[in-house]
Structure 1
Amino acid sequence: MRFLKIIDKIDHGRSAIIAPIVIIVLLGALCSYLGAPYRNRLYNNKVFTTCEIYDYGIIARSVGTSFSCRFYVDGEKYVFSEDVREIAMRNADVFLGKSFPVVYEKGNPSNFRMLMLPEDFQKFDMPYPDSLNWVRKYF
């Protein structure tokens, strides 16, 4: 009985909020830690090519545009979807048929990233190309 009285005195509301936050932070740290080698491989073994945007759609539960893209490596086609929150759906048709740089890991083209925004190029220590300045007015 004494044990039950002690449990009743515990503020369940505060601990019920803190525990999930701690778990989420720990999971985020673990994902970041496990994903770092994957990102480093892409950065250290990068190869550049171009992709073409051939379709677009809305990002579920968000603003922005999801672009459908394709690129080729050694005759093999890679198709992917790239969510770009900075570009509104009303402007998406301007991007159809346009080409953008893609960086992929040598020997593993499924580890790639499309480069469209200035921050994408900054992650690879590259200046934003003049040929993409037309994109700036859409974000």
Structure 2
Amino acid sequence: MEWYYALIIDLSVSLLVVLAVWLISKRVRFILGTQPPTQSKMKRDLFASGEGSIMAKPRKIFIDTFVFIAFFVLFDVAVFILATAFFISGDIAVAGPLIGAALIYTGIVLVTVLVAVKKKYARDAIDPISEGGIKQ
């Protein structure tokens, strides 16, 4: 087998992953109207009387783009390694260490992405009532 078979499989799987991540993203759920109403109901209840402030406003975190790019790169490289190991070697004894390396790589990148997203978008621990967010 040739390397271009691995490349074709890599691109196909990457496009499927891109489509899947895009379909489950928050923006698409919002456009299709399938997003749960709890966030908007909470905002309406909070700001209906005009007593809410910016500190009490529920935070909306847009990480879809970052997660989208991270998963695309993650699966693109991992699938290419797996497909190359399978098609070029054709022998499980040779492909075994490459598959193991691809799985370890996938785990490391996934943990790195999750830690980076958590540090970049940490939630505030401020209580809006005790910090003066809602006037009483």
Q: Same fold (TM over 0.5)?
A: no
Per the normalisation by structure 2, the TM-score is: 0.27
Which structure is higher in helix share?
A: 2
The answer to which structure has the higher strand fraction is 1
Which has the higher relative contact order, 1 or 2, with Cα contacts under 8 A spaced 6 or more apart? 2
TM (normalized to structure 1)?
0.27
